[in-house]
Amino acid sequence: MRVSVFGLGYVGCVSAACLASMGHEVIGVDVNQVKVDLVNDGKAPVVEERIGELIADVVRTGALRATRDVREAIEGSEVSLICVGTPSEPNGSLCTTYLERVTEQIGAALAERGGRQTVVFRSTMLPGTCLNLLVPILEKFVGGTAGVDFGVAVNPEFLREGTSVRDFFDPPKTVIGELDPASGDAVAALYEGLPGEVFRVPVPTAEAIKYADNAFHGLKIGFANELGAVCQALGVDSHQVIDVFLADRKLNISSAYLRPGFAFGGSCLPKDLRSLVHAAQRADVSVPILAHVLPSNSDHLQRAVDLVERTGKRRVGLFGLSFKPGTDDLRESPLVELAERLFGKGYDLRIYDPNVNLSRLLGANREYIETRLPHLAQLLSDSVDEVLAHAEVCLVGTRDPDVLGALPHGDGPVIVDLIRLPDADARRTEPGYVGLAW
């Protein structure tokens, strides 16, 4: 199929590259010239496992190209996937500005071109957004009826940053919210051959399924971390507890997200929980469990600050900064929040993250650090050894092999382990080791 993908961020560039590698003819669109140029040069605009090789391959064969020109993209495609961002507004509500803008642009281009197009929304949005906000925009611009003159579907994305290419080819499920059967057929044809069950549901149901997933993931992490904190206080190894808990398959619990560790973050879970709670409050629905997932997460982050404070030392080396290993994404990273809390308390901080390396970072992420986190940019180092030499306390939030290999044992700096290091059992008996995730 001929596909246009709007938004070349984490979701869009992975979707575009993977669809191209499945034999579709894909044209990616972004307002950001840097991302467009990177893709056309065969380079990935984000850091992700396997994405670099994949984009190089599909750009070389001509299966993927990128442009800023919406009309050119609509001209060259029969299905459009919308993957623009839907961040939080300051009051926690969902920002739909980028969605509305791109929908207007697509509507205007469709009105000029004519012919049937299926517009597929992959961005996460609250139930009702598609039918009540976006379909009316398309109908106004195109001058026709959705489901008749053009197709509309919602197809939420379940990738996890860091393993998103793997997740694309082996999805936990495929959800298609279809306005009409032909729209659903078009989306199903895109993914033909991929494993996993396909659920074809009404449009608002598809929108809601994504929130069910993300709210539950946040809840699981919060549950595991609170359990870990209580176990630690009572002198019990929480990982032993959780291993037995998870072994009980009759309860059908997957271990994903259910292991005491550090706080969660990223561009999805926090903002999706926030907008879900905001929407519930606006609808006068009481949701005390959901409303306390983010405060629980914030308390867990504070436990890490408290551990550092208890060491009584001031020179801290933070290892890891992106919101999880394998990505350079810093949006709502709990390690950024931790760095900021320590920085605000006057700690002498240096930071190393293999994926957040100022000498190698690509355009958009470099710009993000320089404009949003200039106070942390100056603390970033490209060298594990330099940060180690500085540190009286090593705060470890990454499993990067270079960091793990370099971390000293014994009488050196205090190791504050946020993630339960692979050799945590051995380290536990050493002086100067404290773990958050016991």
Tokens at 428, concatenated: 């536990």
Give the residue among 90, 80, 166 at the shortest CA–CA distance from 123: 80
Of the pair 30, 353, the CB lying nearest ligand NAD is at: 30
Query: How far are the Cα atoms of 9, 12, 65, 83 from residue 123, in angstroms, in the given order?
Result: 11, 9, 21, 5
Query: Minimum distance from CB of 362 to ligand NAD (Å)?
Result: 12
Query: Minimum distance from CB of 367 to ligand NAD (Å)?
Result: 11
Question: Is 331 marked as a binding-site residue?
Answer: yes
**Of these, 8, 63, 276, 342, which contacts ligand NAD (CB under 6 A)?**
8
User: Does residue 123 touch ligand NAD according to CB under 6 A?
Assistant: yes
Query: Minimum distance from CB of 144 to ligand NAD (Å)?
Result: 21
**Of these, 24, 35, 324, 366, which contacts ligand NAD (CB under 6 A)?**
35
**Residue list 65-104, contact with ligand NAD (CB under 6 A):** 83-86, 98, 101-102
What value does the CA radius of gyration of the chain take, rounded to a whole number of Å?
23
Question: Is 67 marked as a binding-site residue?
Answer: no
Q: Helix, strand or coil for residue 117?
A: coil
The answer to whether 322 and 330 are in contact (CB under 8 A) is yes
Question: Is 11 marked as a binding-site residue?
Answer: yes
Give the residue among 226, 207, 232 at the shortest CA–CA distance from 289: 226
Stretch that binds ligand NAD, among 5-13, 139-147, 292-300, 340-348 (CB under 6 A): 5-13
Query: Minimum distance from CB of 275 to ligand NAD (Å)?
Result: 10
Of the pair 21, 96, the CB lying nearest ligand NAD is at: 96
Give the residue among 413, 409, 412, 416 at the shortest CA–CA distance from 430: 409
Task: Please give the Cα distance from 175 to 377 (Å, whole number).
Answer: 39
**Residue list 369-388, contact with ligand NAD (CB under 6 A):** none
Annotation marks residue 268 as catalytic: yes
**Of these, 124, 155, 238, 297, which contacts ligand NAD (CB under 6 A)?**
124
Question: Considering 13, 18, 268, 394, which one is annotated as catalytic?
Answer: 268
Of the pair 241, 362, the CB lying nearest ligand NAD is at: 362
Give, to the nearest 10 degrees, the angle between helix 203-233 and helix 269-282: 110
- DSSP summary character for residue 131: I
Start-to-end C-alpha separation, the chain = 50
- Which residues have CB under 8 Å from 323's CB, separation 6+? 161, 265, 266, 267, 329, 330, 331, 332, 333, 334, 335, 336
Tokens at 118, concatenated: 């299926």
Question: Is 386 marked as a binding-site residue?
Answer: no
Give the residue among 368, 248, 392, 232 at the shortest CA–CA distance from 300: 232
Of the pair 327, 381, the CB lying nearest ligand NAD is at: 327
User: Does residue 362 touch ligand NAD according to CB under 6 A?
Assistant: no
Task: List the x/- string, 150-169, binding to ligand NAD by CB under 6 A.
Answer: -------x-x-x--------
- DSSP string computed for 322-370: SSSTT----TT-HHHHHHHHHHHTT-EEEEE-TT--TTT--HHHHHHHH
Query: Tokens 């700690």 sit at which residue?
Result: 347
Task: Please give the Cα distance from 428 to 147 (Å, whole number).
Answer: 61
Task: List the x/- string, 9-28, binding to ligand NAD by CB under 6 A.
Answer: xxxx----------------
Of the pair 22, 70, the CB lying nearest ligand NAD is at: 70
Of the pair 238, 327, the CB lying nearest ligand NAD is at: 327
Question: Is 324 marked as a binding-site residue?
Answer: yes
Tokens at 234, concatenated: 């009572």
Which residue minimizes CB distance to ligand NAD?
A: 9
Of the pair 85, 317, the CB lying nearest ligand NAD is at: 85
Task: Please give the Cα distance from 287 to 126 (Å, whole number).
Answer: 16
Query: Minimum distance from CB of 410 to ligand NAD (Å)?
Result: 39
User: Does residue 268 touch ligand NAD according to CB under 6 A?
Assistant: yes
Of the pair 9, 151, the CB lying nearest ligand NAD is at: 9
Task: Please give the Cα distance from 376 to 342 (Å, whole number).
Answer: 11
Task: Please give the Cα distance from 417 to 425 (Å, whole number).
Answer: 12
Q: Residues at the annotated binding site for NAD(+)?
A: 10-11, 30, 35, 86, 124, 271, 331
- Residues within the annotated binding site? 10-11, 30, 35, 86, 124, 161, 210, 214, 217, 225, 257, 259, 262, 265, 271, 324, 331
Tell me which residues touch ligand NAD (CB under 6 A): 6-12, 29-32, 35, 83-86, 98, 101-102, 105, 123-124, 157, 159, 161, 267-268
Could you list the residues known to form a binding site for GDP-alpha-D-mannuronate, using ranges. 161, 210, 214, 217, 225, 257, 259, 262, 265, 324
| Residues assigned a catalytic role | 268
